[in-house]
Amino acid sequence: MKQTLMGNDAIAWGLVHANVDMVSGYPGTPSSEILATVQKIKQQLNLPIYAEWATNEKVGFEVAYAGAISGKRTAATMKQVGLNVASDALMSASYIGNLGGMLLISADDPGFHSSQTEQDSRVFAKFARIPVLDPATPQDAYDMTRYGVELSERFEVPVMLRPVMRVDHARQIIEMEAQTHFEPKAGQFQRNVARWAGVPRAGRLRQGHEVLERIAAIEAYNWEHHLKPRFDALTGRSKLLILAGGTGYAFVQETLADLKIEADVVQIEMPYPLPREAIVARFEAYDHVLVVEEPYPLIEEDLAHPKLYGKKSGTMHRIDEMKKEHILIALQKLGYYTGPNIYEAPTIDLGFEVPERPPALCPGCPHRDIYYAIMKVFKKKRSIYPSDIGCYTLALSQGAIDSILCMGASVAMASGFSLANPDKTVVATIGDGTFFHSGIPPLLNAVYQDHRFILIILDNSTIAMTGRQTTPERYAPSVDIARIVEGMGITCHEHTYSHEMQENIDFLKKIKTIFESPEHHGPLVVRVRQFCILDTERRDDWIPNLFAEVDPEKCVACDHCTTVYKCPPMAYNAEGKIEIDPFLCAGCGGCLDVVCPTDAFQLDQLKSSGGLFEE
């Protein structure tokens, strides 16, 4: 059956058609739609599938892994930086192995489109000594998902599927099973203490030898079932051989067709483990072997040969995502193309500069008001603002964030900043999802080590940045941030977001007074109850429908609203006065109080009363 599917949707269908009935993971672009689509398929077809978001990637991996140990077919989903969090469990799992098939899906993000690093999950697979599959298209993603589960079961080891963003979010007409005959395996844990609970030294040394034997067997399997048939099919029509992995294969095919160049091309579907000797023996018939892969030179390093060219030789780009232009330039360097760069973007002179529009928080987002209030109370010259990973990161545009490292780091970095800068007030911010993910251990550390800082937990009861996935407290009332904080022996100060800015400022002034009092010691924790403007289940209970307009006589073009408050509907008009775009304004009313130094913002009586919408 043919279906037009996004890559992540294709992976979800691949899991279902592979009879995977346990899927656990943590959201993160570009992987988030995989588990969400499995949940939709589950509801649509009424399938007995466990498909739930875990509190972090390590937990998600461990849930799925236990299912695989019990003989079920399972999957864990995450993005590449989430694999860092799950890596402790992964490294041991590769030694122990599994009975049912387990697919570890780690979605990479070459080009830093939504990630703090460009790390290559294929390298992690090599580090863990597990096989990795590298799809070039959504069709590959569907096929390799099913195949990866089978491969895992055959060799009793987790298998990684490594799609990149351009595979995850591309759409393609793919061939898939017309009918879903879902037949999951029954879980049946078989007690085997020597395997499942092997301990150093003897137990793990034995498993270490098994890992080496297993990876050698998979290497041979890779040659016989994948690489040898592809090499045998080559025509020898050129003195150039191209080894392409992932999206590189698709880009190579298109580039060669565009430039009308002949070359032998082999798709590297399983970049680790590679049978080096067998591959290198085929280089004899060629003058040059070009490796096209992203983002790291994994294949190039493993095959290391005088005829090999790629990133390490300076022939291919070394950072940023794949483009046909990079392949064209490599062909020029090797002497196989002498024509112009047909992919170079033309320079167009518009006669004026187009101003940049940096990312900003959504119109009506309560994060904006809280950050504005923080800066009003805790002045920048006397404060440090560490923050975390979430949509609140966009408060960077307000100048309200000084540091971002990784999930949960705002809390531990607040400890470090407070120790290194005792003359500054450290005000850290973290979202509720990130707090559950990895913010609790560093707060516990700060409590027992008596580190002095303020932690503000922005609790909108959703993981907003990656698609508004659920947080533990949203549907489990027994899970409560305040009780978790108080369980550490400290007070959790509560505040409910108000569209009246002065109320937020007054609350934070009280917090500042408490923090600076001689009686206070250790971290001071604040939980701000708020909402996400895109959360259709809750936003109507919070938005007051108070729309603003500007009194042009009072506007002095001071830039305060466009540089510090930073709400997208606000922009200068032809007369040099601020205007509010009525199509963007959410009616939150946040700017009506305090924000403008000259009180130029005033209530739009007609729109706020609904008069504009009456016949």
The rounded distance, in Å, linking the Cα atoms of 61 and 26 is 9
What pLDDT score does 475 carry? 82
Q: CB–CB of 6/138 below 8 Å? A: yes
**Crossing angle (nearest 10°) for helices 138-155 and 7-17:** 40
Q: Is residue 27 part of a domain?
A: yes
Separation of alpha carbons 575 and 614, rounded Å: 31
- Domain extent, residue 560, equals 548-613
Same domain, 229 and 192: no
pLDDT given for residue 610 in this prediction: 67
159 has pLDDT over 80:
yes
Chain segment 405-436, per-residue pLDDT in tens: 999 999 999 999 999 999 999 999 999 999 99
Look at the chain and report how many structural domains it folds into.
4
Quickly state the pLDDT bin for 473 (edges 50, 70, 90).
confident
State yes or no: pLDDT of 612 exceeds 50. no
For residues 49 and 188, membership in a common domain is answered with: yes
Same structural domain, 172 and 65:
yes
The residue out of 514, 541, 568 marking a domain boundary is 541
Q: Say if residue 446's pLDDT is above 90.
A: yes
Q: Is residue 165 part of a domain?
A: yes
CA dist 382 to 423, 560, 564, 594, Å?
8, 20, 17, 22
CATH for 591: 3.30.70.20
Domain stops at, among 198, 233, 268: 198
How many C-beta atoms lie closer than 10 Å to residue 351's C-beta? Answer: 5
Residue 526 near residue 454, CB atoms below 8 Å: yes
- 540-573 residue pLDDT tens: 999 999 999 999 999 999 999 999 999 999 999 9
Q: Are 243 and 130 in contact (CB under 8 A)?
A: no
In a domain, 479, yes or no: yes
611 pLDDT band, cuts 50/70/90, is low
DSSP 281: G
Nearest-5° Cα angle at 480, 478 to 483 = 105
pLDDT in tens, 3-13: 999 999 999 99
Contact 431, 466 (CB under 8 A): no
Whether residue 484 sits in one domain with residue 435: yes
Same domain (yes/no): 147, 262 = no
The 10s digit of each residue's pLDDT in 227-272 is 999 999 998 889 999 999 999 999 999 999 999 999 999 999 999 9
Q: Is the pLDDT of residue 299 over 60?
A: yes
- Whether residues 530 and 412 fall in one domain: yes
Output the pTM of the full model. 0.94
CB burial class (10 A; 0-12, 13-18, 19+) of residue 512? middle
CATH of the domain at 170: 3.40.50.970
- Is 9 within the bounds of a domain? yes
What is the tens place of the pLDDT at every residue in 162-203? 999 999 999 999 999 999 999 999 999 999 999 999 999 999
Residues 170 and 54 both lie in one domain: yes
463 and 375, same domain (yes or no): yes
